[in-house]
Chains A and B, each alone.
Chain A
Amino acid sequence: MKKRMINEMKLTFASDSKNESFARGCVTAFSAQLDPDMEELADIRTAVSEAVTNSIIHGYRGGEGRITVHARLFDDRSIRIRVIDRGCGIENIEQAMQPLFTTDRSGERGGMGFAIMQSFSDRLDVSSRPGKGTTVTMQKKLK
């Protein structure tokens, strides 16, 4: 039987690092409708934070832009979260998704963003077009 959407939310905000906390807080509050346990809630919070931070740092390279977070809840207790930016896009998605891959030379970023998103969700899809932007889709089924 096909799963049915039971609720959705869409949030658009400026690409500003101050909004990382705001975005993960909103999605966490929204996903609480499915009554997740503490670990599931923490996983969602962390995965959203990673995706939004990616858009700010890599998508817009610290510059101006808009980020949209679109979340849907389904009747099989799953959640789908999309984080969409219209930034510079990713040239090589496969390379970017490799654990420890980073373009940062300062030693302050470990290149674990996508690995964390992958590990903290059941399914991760990344679509991107250079110059057009990136959409990260994460799905997680709750117990």
Chain B
Amino acid sequence: MEEKEAILNYGSVSVRTQEGGELIFCLRGELDHHSVREIRDTIDRKLIDYRPLSVTLDLSEVSFTDSAGLGLILGRYTRISGYGGSMKLTGVSEGFMKILRLAGTDRLIPIEKKEKR
């Protein structure tokens, strides 16, 4: 699918829109209880504004996560599923995958390999 060049940067997260209304959130840096608040607020504002039916969280630039990152993902999944949308993950590191597997999240949320752009 051809992409519109609409990339907005908000500190630790950038938002890319694709034709068809899909939103791709690229998360950056460390995800812990301190840093996820800003990321969560940014994502949630966009979810309210656009109510996208398809959302991708790109985690390829996340350098660290603990259960706060897991909570961020589960919270967004619940919110997006709640209004009938779908969400998937991409660019998941081995370390992040270890946490997702531990919580069984890898069986709940589709995880795709990141395509090279």
Contact = CB atoms under 8 A, between A and B. Distances in A.
Interface of A: 17-18, 20-21, 24, 39, 42, 45-46, 49-50, 53, 56-57, 99-100, 106-110, 112-113, 115-116, 119
A50 B33 CA distance: 9
Contact of B32 (A49, A99, A106, A109): A49
Interface in B52-93: 64-68, 70-72, 74-75, 78
Interface stretch (B3-11, B18-26, B95-103, B109-117): B95-103
A32 B67 CA distance: 23
A93 to B, nearest CB: 18
Contacts of B75: 106-108
A28 B67 CA distance: 18
Interface range, B side: 20 to 34
Contacts of A56: 33
B99 A46 contact: yes
B34 interface: yes
B34 A116 contact: no
Contact of B67 (A18, A45, A113): A113
A110 B67 contact: yes
Contacts of B65: 46
Contacts of B35: 21
A115 B102 contact: yes
Given A21-B30, A53-B33, A115-B103, 16 more contacts: A20-B34, A21-B35, A46-B66, A49-B32, A50-B66, A53-B67, A53-B68, A56-B33, A99-B102, A99-B103, A106-B75, A107-B75, A109-B68, A109-B71, A116-B102, A119-B102
